[in-house]
Chains A and B, each alone.
Chain A
């Protein structure tokens, strides 16, 4: 799994590309771990625009990230979910743990509030 990493207005945007399953989720988990360890006050946005599929292994990484960021008082949000991915999120009740923004701009704005 390729993961693009960009920075915009103090927000680190991670954009995984492809299928987020038990084979690829550890790659994302590791990348987020590196950001959490070295982060100096950036917000973190996980951009799902190029994620076509998510399984429970991907959900697990998101939940772990939510918990770790909350514990460290660091902000985190997700954005740009395709319908199927969003459906899996909602069925699992994850939309109550993390804010799903429709697009990157709205997510960045939300961090400024």
Chain B
């Protein structure tokens, strides 16, 4: 994990392993303290980034190649803009199907809620594929 930190921009990267979720939590707590964000805003960002990172690590990246996932957070007025990049297989979370939350329990698939929660806890999500990388930009109003 590396960390570069300025007044308005904080960047770090995590190894492609789910055990890194604890570090994600630590990093976001630090971001929250530095930018004086509410506990709720930090929790919401944590959940959104957790779900994206879990998807990327579970399905996207090449574990043999020890690929990392990079995070860049910018504090712009009343918004935090977060750019998450990885070199894994193309994956566009903005085109993932919506779960059907009102299904009876027997028809409810186990799983598939991660991207839904990511959408719920952010205000905008954009995806682009650039230089063999997935680049997801999330906006969180604070």
**A1-35 contact mask (Cβ, 8 Å, vs B): 1 or 0:** 00000000000000000010111000000000000
Is the CB–CB distance between A63 and B22 below 8 Å? Answer: no
> Does A51 reach chain B (CB closer than 8 Å)?
no
CA distance A12 to B63 in the complex (A): 39
Is the CB–CB distance between B21 and A97 below 8 Å? Answer: no
> Does B97 reach chain A (CB closer than 8 Å)?
no
> Does A70 reach chain B (CB closer than 8 Å)?
yes
CA distance A113 to B4 in the complex (A): 57
For residues 32 through 73 of chain A, which have their beta carbon under 8 Å from a beta carbon of chain B?
A: 53, 55-57, 59-60, 63-64, 66-67, 70
What distance in Å separates the Cβ of A44 from its nearest Cβ neighbour in chain B?
A: 17
If over half of A's interface residues share one DSSP class (helix, strand or loop), that class is named, otherwise mixed; here it is helix
Contact of B18 among A22, A64, A70 (CB under 8 A): A22
CA distance A3 to B111 in the complex (A): 23
Is the CB–CB distance between B50 and A55 below 8 Å? Answer: yes
> Does B3 reach chain A (CB closer than 8 Å)?
no
A interface residues, Cβ below 8 angstroms from B: 19, 21-23, 53, 55-57, 59-60, 63-64, 66-67, 70, 84, 88, 91-93, 97
B interface residues, Cβ below 8 angstroms from A: 18-19, 21-22, 25, 40, 43, 46-47, 50-51, 54, 58, 101-102, 105-106, 108, 110-114, 116-117, 120
